[in-house]
């Protein structure tokens, strides 16, 4: 059985070994992220929708500074998700429109950030309200086979990768999983609840990867529709479902543990219950949380994946897009071992 530390930090890959080794985040500009909203600003309403570029700045700090400038309370500022500090990111925020206009917001700047666009909008931006993220990453100090890396990139573009939660989800020194060391929950309990669900999910995914059906449907499964949170029960596997699976239109799912029915039956339900039972401390913690159970796709589609070798020796650039909630570092680790994880990715 795989240890919980490995499931958090280095779960099994789709193909072993990786194609080589490299460093990520050697410079903050080596990690660039652009949010894709998936909707257009309404052009009217009681909020400003702001597109912000930040460099080596924390999302929470930027939100607090926007609140200060707008004369509102910090919780009134909306953003879809946390983004890296050690990175260059473009991210959307909303602030209540209690003063000022576009001419007051567009072009404003603060420490580590600048406002690129400002639009009127009808409501506060909620967490998770993203179509996805576009990444541009530079890997430096690559050692290994260029041909193997290029081949792995081509395979992933067609087949996707296991949709693990990245190490960032589990906190510095795995502090969000302190209960597994017999220690009390540290800091914000919400981080511990999220980490507990994430580790159980990673464990189920690793089990299905080992069994060879992480990217196949099983009877009793709940399948996910690509690009949405919708799922449906799979009673029997027919040729239409096989074709949709091969086309990356649907995916098998794993559990985000919580209250209520899981929605799966048979072999899938037995596997998930068996895996979760290995972590009684996490199940006990989640009973206090009372979050409803949910499903997450086991497979991550990597859109528009390209690899470009740079003039600098042993450096390359990766570009790709992911749906909201997926981790860029999970894609990279399927390609190379990361020797340098400077900084902590707050979100994917």
Rounded-to-integer distance, Cα 2 and Cα 206, Å: 9
**Contacting residues for 114 by C-beta, under 8 A, at least 6 apart:** 52, 53, 107, 108
Residue 346 pLDDT: 39
Contact 100, 296 (CB under 8 A): no
Minimum mean pLDDT range among 55-59, 186-190, 275-279: 186-190
Residue 101 pLDDT: 55
Q: Quick check: pTM over 0.85?
A: yes
Quickly count: other Cβ atoms within 10 Å of residue 172's Cβ.
Answer: 9
Q: Which residues pair with 101 in a beta bridge?
A: none
Phi, psi of 195 (to 5 degrees): -65, -35
CA triplet 70, 75, 80: central angle to 5 degrees? 95
Q: Which residues pair with 253 in a beta bridge?
A: 297
Residue 344 pLDDT: 44
3-state secondary structure of 204: helix
Q: How confident is the model at residue 185 (pLDDT cuts 50, 70, 90)?
A: confident
Q: How confident is the model at residue 288 (pLDDT cuts 50, 70, 90)?
A: confident
Residue 188 pLDDT: 82
Asked whether the predicted pLDDT for residue 347 surpasses 60, the reply is no
Rounded-to-integer distance, Cα 316 and Cα 169, Å: 26
Residue 103 pLDDT: 60
Contact 295, 231 (CB under 8 A): yes
Asked whether the predicted pLDDT for residue 343 surpasses 70, the reply is no
Residue 39 pLDDT: 87
Residue 340 pLDDT: 55
Q: Would residue 30 show up in a list of annotated catalytic residues for this protein?
A: no
Closest CA to 293 of 273, 309, 267: 273
CA dihedral 154, 326, 346, 26 (to 10 degrees): 0
Rounded-to-integer distance, Cα 312 and Cα 172, Å: 32
Percent of the chain exceeding pLDDT 90 equals: 75
Residue 313 pLDDT: 84
Active-site annotation holder among 84, 304, 339, 340: 84
Rounded-to-integer distance, Cα 105 and Cα 49, Å: 10
Asked whether the predicted pLDDT for residue 58 surpasses 60, the reply is yes
Helices (H) and strands (E) in the chain, counts: 9, 17
Residue 119 pLDDT: 92
| Rounded alpha-carbon distances, angstroms, from residue 345 to 48, 157, 160, 201 | 27, 23, 21, 19
**Buried b or exposed e, range 80-107, using 16+ CB within 10 angstroms:** bbbbbbbbbbbbbbbbbbeeeeeeebbe
For the segment 66-75, what is each residue's pLDDT rounded down to a tens digit? 999 888 899 9
Contact 49, 147 (CB under 8 A): no
How does strand 316-323 pair with strand 132-144?
antiparallel
Structural domains of the chain, with CATH: 1-32+132-348 (3.30.2350.20), 39-121 (3.30.2350.20)
Residue 71 pLDDT: 87
Minimum mean pLDDT range among 15-29, 89-103, 105-119, 233-247: 89-103
**Buried b or exposed e, range 42-70, using 16+ CB within 10 angstroms:** eeebebbbbbbbbebbbbeebbebbbebb
């Amino acid at each position: 059985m795989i240890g919980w530390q490995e499931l958090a930090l280095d779960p099994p890959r789709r193909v072993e070994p990786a194609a080589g080794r490299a460093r990520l985040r050697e410079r903050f500009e080596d990690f660039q992220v652009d949010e894709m909203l998936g909707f257009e600003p309404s052009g009217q309403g009681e909020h400003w929708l702001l597109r912000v570029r930040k460099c080596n700045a924390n999302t929470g700090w930027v939100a607090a500074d926007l609140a200060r400038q707008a004369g509102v309370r910090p919780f009134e500022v909306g953003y879809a998700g946390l983004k890296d500090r050690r990175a260059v990111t473009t991210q959307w925020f909303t602030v209540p429109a209690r003063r000022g206009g576009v001419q007051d917001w567009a072009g404003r700047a603060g420490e580590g950030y600048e406002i690129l666009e400002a639009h009127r909008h009808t409501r506060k931006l909620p967490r998770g309200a993203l179509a996805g993220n576009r990444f541009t990453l530079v890997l430096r100090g690559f050692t290994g086979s260029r041909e193997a890396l290029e081949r792995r990139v081509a395979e992933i573009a067609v087949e996707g990768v296991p949709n693990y939660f990245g190490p960032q989800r589990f906190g510095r020194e795995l502090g969000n999983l302190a209960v597994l060391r017999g220690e009390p929950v540290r800091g914000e309990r919400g981080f511990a609840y999220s980490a507990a669900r994430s580790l159980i999910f990673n464990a189920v995914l690793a089990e299905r990867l080992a069994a060879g059906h992480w990217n196949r449907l099983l009877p009793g499964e709940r399948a996910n529709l690509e690009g949405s949170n919708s799922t449906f029960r799979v009673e029997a596997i027919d040729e239409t479902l096989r074709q949709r699976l091969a086309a990356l239109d649907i995916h098998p799912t794993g559990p985000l543990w919580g209250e209520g029915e899981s929605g799966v039956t048979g072999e899938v339900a037995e596997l998930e219950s068996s895996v979760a039972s290995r972590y009684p401390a996490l199940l006990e913690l989640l009973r206090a949380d009372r979050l409803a159970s949910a499903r997450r796709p086991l497979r991550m589609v990597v859109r528009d994946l390209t690899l470009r070798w740079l003039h600098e020796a042993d450096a390359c650039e990766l570009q790709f897009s992911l749906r909201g909630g997926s981790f860029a570092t999970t894609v990279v680790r399927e390609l190379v071992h990361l020797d340098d994880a400077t900084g902590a990715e707050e979100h994917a």
